[in-house]
Amino acid sequence: MMGQSLARRGVLFPGGPIVDIRSLLQMPTLYSWFQRAVGSDHGRRVYVRDHVRPCAGDAILDVGCGPADVLEYLPAVCYHGIDLSERYIDAARRKYGDRATFRVVDVAELAAESPRAFDIVLANGLLHHLPDDAVTHLFRVAAILLKPEGRFVSIDGCFTSEQSYLARYFLSRDRGLHVRQPEEYLNLARQVFPNVRGNIRHDLLRIPYTHLVMEAAAASASQLPLPHSTSQGRAA
């Protein structure tokens, strides 16, 4: 009974009026712990292998990098992470400062300071935190920052008609206020990138959850290389 009451008040389940557990995720250690608890180790490994496909020596810009946990899954790349949160950036610098650089930046103020500098621009779990105009701004800047053969790669939770009730429930409780349907993410990307591919995946976390992975080629002439085949991924 007590559990039910606490749950209704948001103490046990996120989003309630008394203690919103989601706010605790602003703490880098708790965020990384929570990610691992829901299965991010497997998810990041598969995402990097199938979609990011980095090569040693690649210049990578990770926008909304958080504590930069993705670095555990990348080869020896030249990594630059930016995030709005000073806490996350401080934690990332403490852990990875010897092999990467970090800066506190709001996407809305991201400037195309070094055109054609990056092989890959990443946005992992970021787009569903941003309104449409900020997403479009990010895409426009990324298109300038990418080398002609470079790629923009993102992953976000999404709503689909085929997902389970539980997946829909978890997505509806996300901290991000802009969880979209796949076509909504893809249409935003297509305003800027001429060649965008979406992949819907239900297999990246231990809990029921649906992700859209987007890959966009920087230059109009280039074609995205075919991804590794996946048992669960399906084109959006």
Ligand X SMILES: C[S@@+](CC[C@H](N)C(=O)[O-])C[C@H]1O[C@@H](n2cnc3c(N)ncnc32)[C@H](O)[C@@H]1O
65 lies in the site for ligand X, by CB under 6 A = yes
**What minimum distance in Å lies between the beta carbon of 18 and ligand X?**
23
Question: What are the distances in angstroms from CA 198 to CA 173, 178, 190?
Answer: 23, 18, 11
Shorter beta-carbon distance to ligand X: residue 38 or 84: 84
Q: Which is nearer to ligand X, 129 or 211 (CB)?
A: 129
Sign of the torsion formed by the C-alpha atoms of 51, 56, 60 and 64 = positive
Among 11-19, 104-112, 201-209, 216-224, the segment contacting ligand X (CB under 6 A)? 104-112
CB 123 within 8 A of CB 138: yes
> Taking the alpha carbons of 31, 37, 171, 196 in that order, is the dihedral positive or negative?
positive
- Which of 50, 58, 83, 119 touches ligand X (CB under 6 A)? 83
Q: Which of the residues 16 through 35 are near ligand X (CB under 6 A)?
A: 35
Q: Is 127 in the site for ligand X (CB under 6 A)?
A: no
Give DSSP secondary structure letters for 183-222. HHHHHHHHTT-SEEEEEEES-SSSSS--EEEEEEESSTT-
Chain Cα centroid distance, residue 162: 22
- Smallest gap from Cβ 126 to ligand X, in A, equals 5
* Alpha carbons 101 and 82: distance in angstroms, whole number: 9
Identify which of residues 126 and 213 has a Cβ nearer to ligand X in the complex. 126
Among 64, 150, 157, 182, binds ligand X (CB under 6 A): 64
CB 118, CB 153: distance < 8 Å? no
Going residue by residue from 175 to 204, which x/- string records binding to ligand X, judged by CB under 6 A? Answer: ------------------------------
- Which residues of this chain interact with ligand X, rule CB under 6 A? 35, 64-66, 69-70, 83-85, 88, 106-108, 124-126, 129-130
